[in-house]
Amino acid sequence: MTKIPFSKVVCDGHELTYIREVLASGWLTTAGKTQAFEERFAESVGARFACAVNSCTAALHLALEALGVGPGNKVLVPTMTFTATAEVVRYLEADPVFLDVEYGSSLVTPDVLAEALQRHPDAKVFIPVHFGGHPAPLLSETGKGLLELCRKRGVRVVEDAAHAFPARCAGRMIGSIGDVTCFSFYANKTITTGEGGMLTTDDEAIARRTRVMRLHGIDRDIWDRFNASKASWEYDVIAAGYKYNMPDITAAIGLAQLERAELLRQERQRCAYYYLRNLAAIDCIDLPRVSVDMADHAWHLFPIILKRNAPVSRDHFIELLGERGIGTSVHYKPLHRMTYYRERYCLKPEDYPNAERIWKGCVSLPIYSSLTDDELEYICSAVADILQ
């Protein structure tokens, strides 16, 4: 029986070497490896500051906190995302406003955003999600990109780039564009540390606040406490901060993954090309809409959408692929369908027609660096066999 899991991590770079260095150092949590990871990550996306944390969720929380989001503030988020994007808004007692997305890309479009900004002139922050690794249209030649629309209205932009490393928009790396960008190194993301995240920004005040709040609201930087001549017990607490720092063991894995990030991306792009070529003839599915260069896409996911004329339901399709040893996933059951958000904000499916259409048919196929052409062929034949 062929077994092709939905996701598989390969750690065949310098992971073990760097972990050994941490073990030998006698200090396992935040120190030099984390600092090195931050420096290399900032360099790789072209941001002034990078702050390592223990998840993307923590990064999103810290970003909103640093921007002063508080009770009753409105934050615009796509409905087609993971709950973390919206839950952090609730941590601060602010309210998410859910936006419909484009059919085929699952991205918020400038048209939808422009309408939402008119309807909610008091919105404070917009969180675009670079769905599946496809960069959201932040910048455009006509000046009508998502970021440009927000700038005109004084709305801050915190990017949820959990899917989007490495990726580019209009020639710039994701991580160097919005006010703040948040990355995830969760187990199934494009580069991983098991659990981990990174916040990037060019704004020194945001970086400073993030560094204080990620470690208990302590006013001295983590390395400073262990390296500086001033005694490590001598510090002040200037806010009720959080415990969101990244341990050095984690950063060691991150450093090794970062070295191969572009190589891994190219392998996922190979998978995407294979699917786009070999699934194009199946007329009861829609393939992901790609409106950027293939090389600007992080290719975290390959979501297809079963159309109404498909001979099997989405759920049955997933079962049949499972019987053939092929793992799949669904991205996402939209947030307007989740009990907490639906009940709290009285959300109605008819207000999200595109997300509804996507949700009813979406299936994500395996896409990762170690997926062989033989496995890709096996997956494509199985899909064609079930649907034709």
Which tokens hold the place of 4? 């092709």
Site for ligand PLP (CB under 6 A): which residue of 30, 34, 44, 57? Answer: 57
Report how far residue 197's alpha carbon sits from residue 54's, in angstroms, rounded to the nearest whole number: 5
Which tokens hold the place of 269? 């792009």
Region from 14-22, 79-87, 280-288, 339-347 binding ligand PLP, contact rule CB under 6 A:
79-87
Closest approach, Cβ 169 to ligand PLP, in A, equals 16
User: Given the complex with ligand PLP, which of 30 and 184 has the nearer CB atom?
Assistant: 184
Interaction of residue 181 with ligand PLP, rule CB under 6 A? no
Report how far residue 357's alpha carbon sits from residue 189's, in angstroms, rounded to the nearest whole number: 25
User: Given the complex with ligand PLP, which of 8 and 316 has the nearer CB atom?
Assistant: 8
Report how far residue 209's alpha carbon sits from residue 225's, in angstroms, rounded to the nearest whole number: 17
At a CB cut-off of 8 Å and minimum separation 6, what does 264 contact?
Answer: 190, 191, 257, 369
Nearest to 273 by CA among 294, 300, 303: 294
Site for ligand PLP (CB under 6 A): which residue of 126, 186, 275, 359? Answer: 186
Size of the residue set binding ligand PLP (CB under 6 A): 14
Site for ligand PLP (CB under 6 A): which residue of 34, 44, 81, 201? Answer: 81
Distances (CA, A) of 306 to 3, 280, 309, 320: 23, 13, 8, 14
Give the type of residue at 232.
S
Closest approach, Cβ 124 to ligand PLP, in A, equals 19
**Residue 28 exposure: Cα atoms within 13 Å on the Cβ side:** 1
At a CB cut-off of 8 Å and minimum separation 6, what does 339 contact?
Answer: none
Interaction of residue 299 with ligand PLP, rule CB under 6 A? no
Site for ligand PLP (CB under 6 A): which residue of 197, 241, 254, 366? Answer: 197
Interaction of residue 160 with ligand PLP, rule CB under 6 A? yes
Tell me how crowded residue 20 is: count the other CB atoms within 10 A of its CB.
12
Region from 5-13, 35-43, 49-57, 236-244 binding ligand PLP, contact rule CB under 6 A:
49-57
Closest approach, Cβ 76 to ligand PLP, in A, equals 15
Site for ligand PLP (CB under 6 A): which residue of 34, 44, 73, 85? Answer: 85
Site for ligand PLP (CB under 6 A): which residue of 162, 298, 358, 363? Answer: 162
Q: What is the DSSP string of 198-255?
A: EEEES-HHHHHHHHHHTBTTBSS-HHHHHHSSS-TT---B-S---B-BPPHHHHHHHH
Closest approach, Cβ 374 to ligand PLP, in A, equals 29
Closest approach, Cβ 24 to ligand PLP, in A, equals 28
Catalytic residues: 189
Closest approach, Cβ 186 to ligand PLP, in A, equals 4
Region from 51-59, 147-155, 259-267, 303-311 binding ligand PLP, contact rule CB under 6 A:
51-59
Interaction of residue 98 with ligand PLP, rule CB under 6 A? no
Q: β-strand 197-201 against 180-184: which pairing, if any? A: antiparallel
First to last CA, the chain: 22
Interaction of residue 84 with ligand PLP, rule CB under 6 A? yes
Interaction of residue 129 with ligand PLP, rule CB under 6 A? yes
Which residues sit at the interface with ligand PLP, rule CB under 6 A? 55-57, 81-82, 84-85, 129, 160, 162-163, 184, 186, 197
